[in-house]
Structure 1
Amino acid sequence: MPVLAADARGDAYPPTFPEAAERIAEAVGFLKAKGYRQIAIVSHSMGSRMSYGYLAGKPDDAVKSWASLGIPLDDYTAVKLPILDLFGENDLPQVLANAGKRHASLVARESRQVTVAHADHFFSGHEAEMVAAVAEFLNATLK
């Protein structure tokens, strides 16, 4: 994914989102060339914001689901895939503030929202719970 200077603020990243979408498309193409037809995207925070740009467009039909961790957006309706909206109970204020709107916008049948108890934005000390939630979702959506 595109990376700006270490001191760059989050609001400096949106101009890089088209490049991020191109990179994701290239990665999906690479996996398809290797024979993979059940692809999921797992992303966190800014990576989730970048992934949204790809998934809200016309993602490759080999992409079957998306695990979005710690995203501060408030609307998933442009993404038609199953989505796992995963965040920590003590996540960033903007992630927590938009949780209800994100939940209401989940449209695919297998979509779900999961909160990891006591976890922060990085799931520090709660990595096992985060991995378990993602694995359960992927096992349910990649068949």
Structure 2
Amino acid sequence: MRSLRWRAMCAAALCAPLVAAAQQQPSDYAREKRWADEIVPQLVSGDPVWLEAPRTEKFLGIYTEAKNAKGAIILAHGLGVHPDYGLIGELRTRLADGGYTTLSIQMPILSAEAPPARYPVLFWEADARFAAAMTYLKRKRYERVVLLSHSMGSRMANHYVGAHPLVPLAGWISLSISSVEFAPVKRVKFPIFDIYAENDFDAVLRGAQQRAAALKRMRGSSQTMVFATDHFFAKKEKELVSLIGLLLEGEKK
């Protein structure tokens, strides 16, 4: 009996790395390249930069420098798109106009047909890309760096913050995260700002109350609902930028 139990334990130990490997998958780099080939020639504001991270191919970032910058913001877009798409594309330029240098990065993506439920296989690579963006901005001498994420980008940021709670961020602004709660936040030293829309996706709205309860235990953190808009903050981009500015200015005090 003891021998059988030992063999079972050994088999489980041998299988564990295989299971872990099966739960990890690289980004669709060919699709990333197609996005980059499409958007880089059309950039009007900001400069393309190519960032490197372990175990991943070079990935695109759009660096938009602000004059007399108050700090820098890393932006993470939503499901399957690119760093100049939709809301994140609006925010990267509007926030730069408002005095914050922005670095909008290409998050890892799957094929266009892949459902959101498949995306956790990419979270390991998202972690590496966030770290690479942090390194890039630190080399640019930015001491105050904030992470701003939207939708799937917020789920990826949640994983990163949970795995690296001591990362030297000045704050994390999470837009429309479809999660009941944040990753363990007891060791996090920076404020978390949870922003969602009145007409957001059901998955976002369902978790709002529990997220708010968690943030009450974190000094300086808060939750805000933006009225009369949807998951993409349509027609409320200007108000959203103002809200982000107020949160960041309050965080400095």
Sort the TM-score into its range (normalised by shorter chain): over 0.9
Cα distance in 1, alignment partners of residues 183 and 250 from structure 2: 21
Q: 1:97 corresponds to which residue?
A: 206
Cα pair 1:87 1:115 within 8 Å, conserved: yes
Cα pair 2:197 2:228 within 8 Å, conserved: yes
Indicate which of 104, 112, 117 corresponds to 1:11.
117
Indicate which of 20, 27, 45 corresponds to 2:151.
45
User: What SS class does the counterpart of residue 118 from structure 1 fall into?
Assistant: strand
How much has 1:37 moved relative to structure 2? 1.2
Q: 1:82 corresponds to which residue?
A: 191
Cα pair 1:38 1:142 within 8 Å, conserved: no
Of the structure 1 ranges 52-61 and 7-16, higher mean CA displacement relative to structure 2 is found in 52-61
Moved over 4 A (4+): none
Cα distance in 2, alignment partners of residues 8 and 142 from structure 1: 40
Q: 2:176 corresponds to which residue?
A: 70
Q: Number of aligned residue pairs: give it.
A: 143
Structure 2: give runs of 5+ residues left out of the alignment: 1-106
2:229 matches 1:119: yes
Structure 1: give runs of 5+ residues left out of the alignment: none
Of the structure 1 ranges 112-121 and 50-59, higher mean CA displacement relative to structure 2 is found in 50-59
- Counterpart amino acid of 2:237? E
User: What SS class does the counterpart of residue 153 from structure 2 fall into?
Assistant: helix
Q: Deviations over 1:64-88 (max 9, x none)?
A: 1000000011112523221110000
C-alpha RMSD of matched pairs (Å): 1.4
Please give the TM-score of this superposition, normalised by the length of structure 2: 0.54
Cα pair 1:88 1:119 within 8 Å, conserved: yes
Please give the TM-score of this superposition, normalised by the length of structure 1: 0.93
How much has 1:25 moved relative to structure 2? 0.5
- Give the fraction of aligned pairs with identical amino acids, expressed as a percent: 40
